[in-house]
Amino acid sequence: MRSIASAIFISLLIAAGVLAQEQASVAIHSRRVLDVRGGTATEGYVVVRGDRIVSIDRSAPGGVRVIELGDATVLPGLIDCHVHLEADWNDFSATSNLRRSSAEKTLDGLQNAQTYLQRGFTTVRDAGTTDPAYDTIALRNAFARGKFAGPRVFAAGIPISVTGGHADLNPLAADVPMVKFPNIADTPDEVRVAVRHDLRNGVDWIKLMATGGVLDTLSNYNVQELSDEQMKAAVEVAHRAGRKVMAHAEGTAGIAAAVRAGVDSIEHGTVLDEETAQLMAERGTWLVPTLETFQRGVEMGLTSGQEPIMLEKGKAILRYQQPAFERALRHHVKIAFGLDDEPKFTTREFSALVTAGLTPLQALQTATTNAASLLGVDAGVLESGKLADVIAIDGDPLKDVKALERVVFVMKGGVVVRQR
């Protein structure tokens, strides 16, 4: 009996060893493994077991499969904190959202999400849908379950807005009836109901429209839309439920009110003043500046359905962008990457950040260490214990951020989704 028990025990040990070997089955080798904190690149092997990084070794580990990437720059998977997965980026007209079904929006979202992943973005935060059926929550769950290849998604619902505000999705004439969407809230109590509606449907973030915007025909980006009391109510309910709050805020008054209310991130911040920049720094409020989307909006002119009033607002607000960004830099406001545009333009946002005053390393950090901190995701750096989100670039992004266009390898959570 002892010999049988011993044999079983030995077999179990062998099986456990085989399983461990299978789990620790890959090492990614490059002569340029980038430390995005310090900005140095050295030769190394990124050893992965399951969905985690085990170690960064100087020499080849034994008993594992090696993925050879040569001189490609290996770095953490990128993170975009302001995407709209379901968007049809070829139609900016006021009625675009009303002409697409929930099913069509979901399919557009799947396509956009997979484009992000192929371009090296292994995590994204969706900054608001137009679908009351919560298409982005369905996509998030499908990606998490492995039904489709896609990035890790943190998602909001339809942004909470006042009637006639930047996320009032009814552009129709007064005598054309339309069902009221659940994101419309004109009192603090209605905001609480809208937040709870989002929470019930599984959102990760609450999105508020603190001010008007550019890409609509109804609102004024300088006008504070949700009141101080409404935003405080939203933050109270969301934080009590363990969720964070982002606020679309372009005009100065709305930015300041959102920061005072305790939101976790300001989206755009295009007319940020000195006093509010200082307040953001003191409170640790993040800024996701989305520089490129405003710049391209003006370049587009009256194409892709952009309407004259949208273009007029885009031209007017653009002159505030650079001074506001410089104020954020002077006060050391925390900055995270956000495109807010079609995913094929990701490289343009890196270039815009550098043109606005960041070094290439700092621009890269906005989409790695900084973004990971904002979202609370265990990624953004190549270190033992972190999620195995690893990408490789043909070129040196610290010399030219446009090299980030040339993605040659993508691993998300230990699974290779792109190689050359």
C-alpha closest to that of 92 among 294, 334, 290: 294
Using alpha carbons, select from 13, 123, 136 the residue that is nearest to residue 373: 123
DSSP secondary structure string for all residues of 168-202: ----S-TTS--PPPTTB--SHHHHHHHHHHHHHTT
* Model pTM score: 0.93
pLDDT digits (tens, 9 = 90+) for 39-63: 999 999 999 999 999 999 999 898 8
* Alpha helix (H) residue ranges in 64-134: 102-118
Q: Phi and psi at residue 155, in whole multiples of 5°?
A: -130, 145
Q: Tell me how far the alpha carbon of residue 302 is from its chain's centroid.
A: 28
Q: What pLDDT does 279 receive?
A: 98
> Comparing C-alpha atoms, which of 284, 286, 282 is closest to residue 249?
286
- SS3 for 52? strand
| pLDDT at 67 (0 to 100) | 97
Residue 18 and residue 372: Cα distance in Å, rounded?
34
pLDDT over 90, % of the chain = 88
Residue 20 reports pLDDT greater than 70: no
**CATH 3.20.20.140 residue spans of the chain:** 78-375
Q: Residue 2 above 60 pLDDT?
A: no
Residues β-bridged to residue 52: 49, 387
Cα–Cα dist 109/88, whole Å: 9
Query: How far apart (Å, rounded) are the C-alpha atoms in residues 336 and 239?
Result: 21
Could you say which of 207, 232, 313, 412 is catalytic? 207
Helix (H, G, I), strand (E, B) or coil at 148: coil
> Which of the following is catalytic: 80, 340, 341, 389?
340
Distance CA 120, CA 281 (A): 30
Q: How confident is the model at residue 205 (pLDDT cuts 50, 70, 90)?
A: very high
Number of neighbours of residue 100 by Cβ within 10 angstroms? 18
**Tens of pLDDT, residues 362-399:** 999 999 999 999 999 999 999 999 999 999 999 999 99
Task: State the span(s) of the chain assigned CATH 2.30.40.10.
Answer: 26-76+381-419
What are the DSSP calls for 94-107, one per residue?
A: TTGGGGS-HHHHHH
pLDDT band at 128 (very low <50, low <70, confident <90, very high): very high
Long-range CB pairs of 160-164, under 8 A, 24+ apart, other chains included: 160/185, 160/191, 160/194, 160/195, 160/198, 160/206, 160/207, 160/208, 160/209, 160/226, 160/234, 161/185, 161/209, 161/225, 161/226, 162/186, 162/209, 162/225, 162/226, 162/230, 164/218, 164/219
What is the average pLDDT across 7-36? 62
How many whole angstroms separate alpha carbon 254 and alpha carbon 328? 16
Strand order in the sheet with 244-249: 205-209, 244-249, 265-268, 286-288
Residues 6+ apart with CB under 8 A from 300: 92, 306, 311
CATH class as words, domain 78-375: alpha beta
- d(Cα 73, Cα 28) in Å, to the nearest integer? 11
In this structure, the chain runs to a length of 420
At the fourth CATH level, the homologous superfamily of domain 26-76+381-419 is: Urease, subunit C, domain 1 (2.30.40.10)
* DSSP alpha helix (H) spans, 201-303: 228-240, 252-261, 274-283, 291-300
- Per the annotation, the verdict on 207 as an active-site residue is yes
Judged against a pLDDT cut of 50, whether residue 409 lies above it is answered with yes
* The pLDDT of residue 94: 86
Listed range (2-16, 56-70, 72-86, 311-325) with the worst mean pLDDT = 2-16
Q: Does residue 8 surpass a pLDDT of 90?
A: no
